[in-house]
Amino acid sequence: MLILLDRDGVLNEDRPDFVKSPDELVMLAGAATAVARLNAAGHTIAVVSNQSGVGRGLMTQADLDAVNAALIEAVASAGGWLDAVIVCTDPPWAATARRKPGPGMLHEALTQFAAPPSDAVMIGDTLRDLEAAAALGIRRILVRSGKGRASEASGLPPSVQPVAVYDDLAAAAAALLAQGVA
């Protein structure tokens, strides 16, 4: 299946001031290995990530590219790979439908991999990740890493239910693999 991953708070530590350089990229425990396990089971993995730090002028596209290259390297070190890294650099005040909670990036991933929504799952740490997936009828998983615990505590509205909740990407991946959804 197509597994859509938010980046910050799912694969790497979320930073309120944005991950602006490879030095600021801190992988979450077990995340890279989880990706490798999902790869090995035959899943396609696409990152769909809001990166408004570029649109806000806090970092450049080249900075973002360098961070994502470091992310890809970290995943590769665990024996895994990312099939696509899709980003949206829109600032919130000029958001297009690509910026989550808009479904644009998720739709692009479905199209790129010719996957129907029923064969996809979104894993994220914020409500907007879940909203973007719900808009397309994509299955939803919340992880408690990053902003996830706060997102869960805030209450998840009926519009995004049902949502499966796991402690982190490693736990979510283990559950997906146990369900035999390869």
From the CB of 113, what's the least distance to Mg ion, in Å? 21
d(CA 52, CA 89): 5
Residues 118-157 touching Mg ion, rule: CB under 5 A, are 125
Nearest to 130 by CA among 116, 107, 151: 151
Smallest gap from residue 128 Cβ to Mg ion (A): 8
8, 14, 63, 168: the catalytic one is 8
In the complex, minimum distance from the CB of residue 39 to Mg ion, in angstroms, rounded to a whole number: 21
| 8 belongs to the catalytic site | yes
**Residue at 50: amino acid letter:** N
Annotate each residue in 2-41 with x if it binds Mg ion (CB under 5 A) or - if it does not, as one string. ----x-xx--------------------------------
Compare residues 18 and 43 and give the one whose CB is closer to Mg ion.
Answer: 18
Query: Do 30 and 78 meet the contact criterion of CB atoms below 8 Å apart?
Result: no
Whether residue 15 contacts residue 36, with contact meaning beta carbons closer than 8 Å, is answered with no
Question: With CB under 5 A, what is the number of residues at the site for Mg ion?
Answer: 4
Q: Point out the residue whose Cβ comes nearest to Mg ion.
A: 9
Q: Is residue 167 annotated as part of the catalytic site, yes or no?
A: no
Q: Is 68 exposed, middle or buried (0-12, 13-18, 19+ CB in 10 A)?
A: buried
Q: Does 63 bind Mg ion (CB under 5 A)?
A: no
At a CB cut-off of 8 Å and minimum separation 6, what does 65 contact? none
Q: Which amino acid is at 85?
A: V
Active site residues: 6, 8
Task: Please report, as ranges, the residues that interact with Mg ion according to CB under 5 A.
Answer: 6, 8-9, 125
